[in-house]
Structure 1
Amino acid sequence: MKLAKLIAFIPILSVLLLSVMLPGAAAVDIVPSEPRKVMRVAGDNNFPPFEFVANGTFQGFNVDMLNALSLETGISFEFYPMPWSEAIKALESGKVDAVQGMKYSQERAQSYSFSESYFTSSQGIFVRKDSYSVHSLTDLQNRRIAVQEGDISSEAMQRIPNATVLATENQEEAIRLLLGGQVDAFIGNQITGQYVLQKNRQQDQVKLVGDPIAPTDYGLVVLKKNEALLGEINHGLRELKSNGTYAKIERKWFGEYIYPSAPRLKELLSYVVAGLVITAAVLLLILWWNLTLKRELKKRLDAYKKTLDELARRDRLQSLGQLVAGIAHEIRNPITSILSYSQALPFKYDNKEYREFFTMHVTEEVMRLNRIVTELLDFAREKPPEKTLFKLEEPVRAVALFFHNLLEERRIVVQLDVPDSAYVWADAQQIKQVLINLIRNAIDAMPGGGTLRIAAQERQPFVILEIEDTGEGIDADDLPKIFEPFFTKKAGGVGLGLSICYQLVRDNRGEIEVTSEKGAGTRIVLKLPSQLEEEEHA
Structure 2
Amino acid sequence: MGFQLRPGWRRVTIVLCLVMAVAQPLAIADIPENKVLVVAGDENFPPYEFIDEINGAKVYRGFNVDLLQAVALSCGYEIRFRPMPWAEALRALDNGEVDAVAGMKYDAEREKRYDFSEAYMINSQAIFVLKDMQAIASLDDLTGRKVAVQQDDIAYHRLKNRPVELVPAADQEEALRLLLGRKVDAAVGNKLTGQYILQRMKNVDEVKTVGGAIDPERYAVAVRKGSPVLAVFNKGLQAIKQNGTYDKLYAKWFGEPVDYPAWYYKRNFKLALFGAGFLFILAIAFVLANLLLKREVKRRVRQLEAVNDELRRTNKYIERAHKYQEKMLNSGYSGIVTIGQDGGIKFANQYAQRYLARDGRPLAGLDYTETALADLLGNCPPCGMERWAGEVMLGRVGIEYTVDVLQVDDERDIIVHFRDITQEKQLREEIIKKDKLEALGKLVACIAHELRNPLTSIKTFVELLPTKYDNPLFRKKISEFVPREIERLNSIVNDLLTYAHPRTQAREQITLKSLVDGIMVFFADTVAKKNIDLQVDIADAVFVYVDMQQMKQVIINILLNAIQALEERPSPRLQIVGEGQDGYAILTITDNGVGISRENINHIFEPFFSTKSGGTGLGLFVSYQLAKQNGVDIAVESVENVGTKVRLKFPAK
Which TM-score tier does this pair reach, normalised by the shorter chain?
Answer: 0.3 to 0.5
- Tell me the TM-score normalised to structure 2 length: 0.34
Structure with more contact order per residue of length (Cα contacts < 8 Å, sep ≥ 6): 1
- Tell me the TM-score normalised to structure 1 length: 0.42
